[in-house]
Structures are given as C-alpha cells and as structure tokens.
C-alpha cells in the first residue's frame, strides 16, 4: 500500500469538497476554489470530515497514481484554507523589483528591464528597504502555479556560486565555490 496514498486528508472547518460523476474533485474554502480531475480508476470517498482514496489493483501504475492524487488533493485543501507563500530575494548591486498590478518589473543587471506578466491567481508584493536586498513575495492558493511562477522568476538570473549574486529563495543555502587562488 502506498504510504502517502493510504493517509486520509483531514478537512478543516470552512472547507467543502464535492466529487462529480466524472471524478473531478472540487475543493472550496475561505480563500477560493480549486478543481482537480482524478484518474477514473481511483475511488475518492468523503466520510467523517476526511477524504480517502482507494485503488483497484496493486499494479505499479495504480500505486503511483494513488500517492500522486492524494498529495494533489491535500495540497488543494491546504491552499484553500491557508494558502501558499514564496519569497524570493534579489542579491546584487543595482538589482531591484517593482510590482505594478499583475506585472513585475525587474532590473537584474541586463541592458534592459524585464517585465513579467503574472497570472491573476498569484498575488505579488515587493519590498525594498535601505541596506537590504529587495524581496519579492508571491501568494496563491495553487501550490503548483506558485511554484512554477517562482521558478520562472528565479530562472531569469539564477544565483552564481562565487559571489552568490542572482535571485534566490529566502532561506535557500547556496553552494559557494572558492575563487581563483593566486600562484606563489
């Protein structure tokens, strides 16, 4: 049995789940609503404020789908009840970020500014204080979408291993390399 798949998903107060005939799970909570189509072979049940998934056979495909869809449903429940937050830090001289509605305008040391249009499901906030690095804060109810957007922003200037300049997640530990050593 899949260790993740067999765990029930507990529903917090204010979260309602509906399952359609076509195996589409809809999760509605105080922060919004998310939908996920579940494989037709898996059976999704709601009882005693818990969601459980069962699989028909012990085949490798059913085992992998069992854990996957349980994790996706758990992420949706967490998203509509608490939400997700990612923080990125811009490390480098002259690096700056500014949010203008759903657009993120960044100066990352290139010859031009980079303007990124973000999806409406992702809320953006930038904070720039003197003597500290600019921080971009992303919030959303969709874990997959916020992770994708954060990875896209980070890919515009990934941190380099010598000085650590670039866009990194807050709290991320970078592998640093020693520079050239002078010959004696």
pLDDT value of residue 3: 83
Domain membership flag for residue 2: no
Q: Quote the pLDDT of residue 103.
A: 95
Predicted local confidence at residue 181, as pLDDT? 80
Its domain, for residue 61, covers 9-81
Count of the separate structural domains present in the chain: 2
61 and 99 fall within a common domain: no
- Do 156 and 116 belong together in one domain? yes
Kindly state whether residue 74 falls inside one of the protein's structural domains: yes
Residues of the chain with pLDDT below 70 are: 1-2, 183-184
159 and 94 in a common domain: yes
Q: What is the pLDDT of residue 180?
A: 83
pLDDT at 2: 63
SS3 letters for the chain?
A: CCCCCCCCEECCCCCEEEECCCCEEEEEECCEEEEEECCCCCEEEEECCEEEEECCCCCHHHHHHHHHHHHHHHHHHHHHHCCEEEEEEEECCCCEEEEECCEEEEECCCCCCEEEECCCCCEEEEECCCCCCCEEEEEECCHHHHHHHHHHHHHCCCCCCCCCCEEEECCCCCCCCCCCCCCC
Tell me the Ramachandran region of residue 49: left when phi exceeds 0, alpha when psi lies from -120 to 50, beta otherwise: left
Kindly state whether residues 149 and 98 are assigned to the same domain.
Answer: yes
Residue 70's nearest CA partner among 2, 164, 166 is 2
Kindly report the CATH number assigned to the domain that includes residue 68. Answer: 3.90.930.12
């Amino acid at each position: 049995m899949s260790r993740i798949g067999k765990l029930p998903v507990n529903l917090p107060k204010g979260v309602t789940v509906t399952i359609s005939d076509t195996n589409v799970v809809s999760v509605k909570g105080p922060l919004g609503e998310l939908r996920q189509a579940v494989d037709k072979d898996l059976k999704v049940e709601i009882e005693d404020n818990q969601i459980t998934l069962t699989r028909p056979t012990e085949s490798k495909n059913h085992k992998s789908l069992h854990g996957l869809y349980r994790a996706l449903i758990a992420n949706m429940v967490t998203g509509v009840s608490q939400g997700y937050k990612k923080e990125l830090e811009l490390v480098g001289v002259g690096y700056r970020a500014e949010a203008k509605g759903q657009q993120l305008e960044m100066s990352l040391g290139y010859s031009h500014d980079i303007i990124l249009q973000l999806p409406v499901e992702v809320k953006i906030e930038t904070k720039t204080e003197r003597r500290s690095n600019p921080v971009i804060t992303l919030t959303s109810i969709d874990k997959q979408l916020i992770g994708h957007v954060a990875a896209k922003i980070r890919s515009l200037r990934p941190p380099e291993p010598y000085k650590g300049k670039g866009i990194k997640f807050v709290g991320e530990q970078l592998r640093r390399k020693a520079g050239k050593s002078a010959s004696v």
